Chain A
Amino acid sequence: MAELLVEMAGISKSFPGVHALDEARFELRAGEVHALVGENGAGKSTLMKILAGIYHRDAGTIKFKGQEVEIASPRAAQDLGISIIHQELNLMGHLTVAQNIFIGREPRGAARFVLDEKALNRKAAELFETLHLKLDPRVRVSGLAVAQQQMVEIAKALSFSSDVLIMDEPTAALTDTEIDELFRIIRHLRERGAGVVHISHRLEELKQISDRVTVMRDGRYIDTVETAEAGIQSIISMMVGRTIFEATPELPEHPDPEVVLEVRHLNRGRAIRDVSFQLRRGEILGFSGLVGAGRTEVVRAVFGADPRDSGEILVHGKPVAIRTPADAVAHGIGYLSEDRKRYGLALKMDVEANVVLASMRRFTGRLGRIKFGRTKAAAEEHVKGLAIKTPSLAQRARNLSGGNQQKVVIAKWLTADTEILIFDEPTRGIDVGAKSEIYRLLNDLAQQGKSIIMISSELPEILRMSHRILVMCEGRITGELDAADASQEAIMTFATQREAIAAA
């Protein structure tokens, strides 16, 4: 058996309100590609960030080449020979490929403060040679395709002469040919004796590239299997396992048949491909799929936040022109982004100002004067109604907890009298207690006749909440499931239905 590079055992890690890891373990051999799979939030990235020195474990041991080690910082991990490539690229677009790779470690010239650009480019070229990469060290990174930028990241990671390379969803943004190129490099690394950790949501990739698969769920280690011996279906069922919620779904009564929103043949580049769907009164329509499947893109296009190439939107059966969010709001549509801090809240403003932000017209008198009595009353009503925990209406939104921030955004749309509410990952970053409150709220809203689109990457959540589930993969809707016949396995099958498989 090959040398054991990494052994992690009993690793636990908590974040405020969340048990991210619970006695998780993982091992990596020299010369293997080890896939790490699990649902969103299963703890894969957290576990690997601990190995890379980005997070600190609360408990557990890490052995590197048989020696117990303390990995206190990313720098310490690099010194050991452990490199991580994040999902998001961390490159400086204005600098060249070589400048990016050796940032902070630039070769100097005769005088200490003079950079030796020639030596820099030569070192980069040598590195590419050993990796069989076709990259010009002198071009600017911003001019490269995403896949090539990914290669630059990999080259940078390997320039630290790494024995362990962790890749967090490296293929999420890549096309098929680019993925092939990436896999070629991964295989090359494996031949050189490096250990590669491959975190991926694309299960069909496992067979192509990995030697072993470790499955995680709810922060726990489930099993490690030889890829050759495992079936995709068995891996899926290990991933989804049981649900962390009570089994009984709290579905509101059957939705009204009236269609309030219809989207026909929506298209935008590769991100949205011929998406059509209907939303009925009082219905919670779940949008499921893996991260990057195009769900957020669809709802943002419907809301007018992003442009679209083609497609028709009908509200109450009438075609409407939605080009800006203002148009959408005028037609009674509200959007609650997954990233509340960036897209949902004016963080420096107080609770009251945020609650009325989308409906100022209703609170404005002559000469644009704000009717403060009315804004205060509206804010008070929702703070009470949604049980928003805040010391006062004058509290800045920045200082609230995640769950209460989410409620403030909900209050904003309730104040604006929207009848179609689009929730994008409504419980992301919210602790378990606040989660069930948000669920109850969604049910109440649906029962009051509001129509809800809910995007969620958590399968139990989408199964529990939705009347109907649409599953997306790579910009297309690959399946529709009724609450009655939906299961985690069925969703996962649709969610991983890439085009090649769909055609076969």
Chain B
Amino acid sequence: MQTTTTPSRSRIQSLAKGDSLQRLLALGALMILLAFFSALSEPFRTTDNYISILVATAVNGVLAMGVTFVIITGGIDLSVGTTMTFCSVVMGLVVTNAGFPLWLGIPAALAAGALVGAVNGTLIAKAKIPPFIATLGMLNVTRGLAQILSDVKPIYFEGTPQFYELFMGKFIFGIPNVVFIMFGAAILATLVLNRTVLGRYTFALGSNEEATRLSGVNVDAWKIVVYSVCGLFAGLGGILIAARMTSAQPSVGMGYELDAIAAAVIGGTSLSGGEGSIVGTVIGAFIISTLTIGLSILGVPDQWKLVITGLVVIGAVWLDILRRRGRA
């Protein structure tokens, strides 16, 4: 019982018991999926296809990182998909309609996302509206605003071809830049979550909000910050999707929030709060995109793709519950 155990042993113990196991399981599942599709399908095992999986993961991955913060606090954000759309429309207005340069459009999109997040956070922390309801409301608000601002018409980034080049161009190894942006965001998010006071309070809120409040932490303010961070990632998602489509499409976005939540959950983030990691979330996002692309290449109809991805999410959560029960 004394403090004599070596740190290496306790690390092994925590690896075996902690969230790391779910992350390893998720990584294993991803490897199995990749191996499975690669073995089964010639067109799947091409470099171009692997790159397309990387690219397809970028938008959902970024949204899922933001949602991971919120879920770790024990909350939820259903508005990330439509906030993403709203942000891409804001960027389109700033860059195409108003003719401002790109370097103003990008921060405008990020700011719009952070603002939506701050509204979410304020509704939840100050008005005490349950996160599910507050963000469900904001899902419709941002969706409506995106359509109003764009007049329900796509905004094309015709005057700024460098926009596409900046994000979809291939500076290294023939891999589009969005992939590196996603990994960069993941590293940043990991550092924030594990190394900063914001990350510490994110876990503390989800672990025991009342104890955190009684420790003198201004929990309301930090909740608003966490939701703003989530909005910021939605803003980044908005930029990435606009670059991929070379336009802001006011009618996309619905359903993206569910993929983002699914990615976080598959990656071991607990919906009851207090547990989760960005690495897991990124793996979760890869599992979803690998599954979607792999099934398409195998010629599985869209309807069946939905059924299978749905079952995978349920299976992942069930495994997580079994693992927790085994530990208790």
Contacts and interface: CB of A to CB of B under 8 A. Distances in A.
A385 to B, nearest CB: 12
Interface residues of B, number: 31
Contacts of A370: 195-197, 200
A348 B207 contact: yes
B39 interface: no
Nearest to A303: B214
Interface stretch (B2-10, B99-107, B145-153): B2-10
B216 A325 contact: yes
Contact of A353 (B1, B11, B200): B200
A370 B199 CA distance: 9
A402 to B, nearest CB: 14
Contacts of A324: 213, 218
Nearest to B209: A346
A349 B205 CA distance: 11
Contact of B203 (A335, A353, A383, A412): A353
Contacts of B213: 305, 324-325
A389 interface: yes
Contact of B215 (A348, A358, A364): A358
B92 interface: no
A360 interface: yes
A277 interface: no
Contacts of B218: 324, 326
A390 B3 CA distance: 6
A335 B227 CA distance: 29
A345 B208 contact: yes
B214 A335 contact: yes
B216 A391 contact: no
Given A329-B215, A349-B207, A389 B275 contact: no
A343 B211 contact: yes
B48 interface: no
Interface in B1-30: 1-3, 5, 7, 10-11, 14
A369 B200 CA distance: 10
A301 B3 CA distance: 38
A321 interface: no
Given A368-B198, A370-B196, A392-B7, A347 B214 contact: no
Nearest to A360: B197
B201 interface: yes
Contacts of A391: 1, 3, 5, 10
Contacts of A389: 1-3
Given A357-B204, A358-B216, A394-B10, A346 B3 contact: no
A367 interface: yes
A297 to B, nearest CB: 15
A343 B200 contact: no
Interface in B159-217: 192, 195-198, 200-201, 203-204, 206-208, 210-217
Nearest to A364: B197
Contacts of A228: none
Q: How large is the interface on A (under 10, 10 to 19, 20 to 34, 35 or more residues)?
A: 35 or more
Contacts of A348: 203, 206-208, 274-275
Interface in B208-242: 208, 210-218
A33 interface: no
B134 to A, nearest CB: 22
A342 B10 contact: no
B195 A342 contact: no
Interface in A368-419: 368-370, 372, 383-384, 389-392, 394-395, 412, 416
A383 B212 CA distance: 21
B226 to A, nearest CB: 13
Contacts of B208: 342-343, 345-348
A353 B204 contact: yes
B3 A342 contact: no
Nearest to A398: B207
A305 B219 CA distance: 12
Contacts of B11: 394
Contacts of B204: 346, 349, 353, 357
* B interface SS class: helix
A305 B217 CA distance: 12
B3 A383 contact: yes
A416 B216 contact: yes
A328 interface: yes
Contact of A337 (B7, B195, B201, B214): B214
Interface string A349-369: 100010001101101100111
Given A345-B208, A348-B207, A392 B10 contact: yes
A360 B214 contact: no
A111 to B, nearest CB: 33
A344 interface: yes
A330 interface: yes
B212 A357 contact: yes
A390 B13 CA distance: 14
A395 B10 contact: yes
A392 B3 contact: yes
Interface string A290-304: 000000000000010
Contacts of B3: 383-384, 389-392
B214 A346 contact: no
Given A342-B208, A348-B274, A412 B5 contact: no
A343 B200 CA distance: 18
Contact of B211 (A342, A372, A384): A342
B118 to A, nearest CB: 17
A346 B215 CA distance: 10
Given A389-B1, A392-B3, A346 B207 contact: yes
A378 to B, nearest CB: 14
A367 B196 contact: yes
A368 B196 contact: yes
Nearest to B225: A368
Contact of A360 (B192, B201, B207): B201
A490 B218 CA distance: 42
Contact of B195 (A347, A369, A384): A369
B14 A394 contact: yes
Nearest to A361: B197
B327 to A, nearest CB: 11
A416 B204 CA distance: 17
Contacts of B211: 342-346, 357
A339 B262 CA distance: 35
A474 B201 CA distance: 38
A357 B217 contact: yes
Interface in A4-60: none
Given A348-B203, A357-B200, A360-B200, 8 more contacts: A345-B211, A347-B208, A349-B203, A349-B204, A349-B207, A360-B201, A383-B3, A416-B215
Interface of A: 303, 305, 324-326, 328-330, 335, 337, 342-349, 353, 357-358, 360-361, 363-364, 367-370, 372, 383-384, 389-392, 394-395, 412, 416
Interface of B: 1-3, 5, 7, 10-11, 14, 192, 195-198, 200-201, 203-204, 206-208, 210-218, 274-275
18 contacts: A305-B213, A305-B214, A329-B215, A343-B211, A346-B274, A348-B206, A348-B275, A349-B203, A353-B203, A353-B204, A357-B212, A360-B197, A364-B197, A369-B197, A370-B200, A391-B10, A392-B3, A395-B10
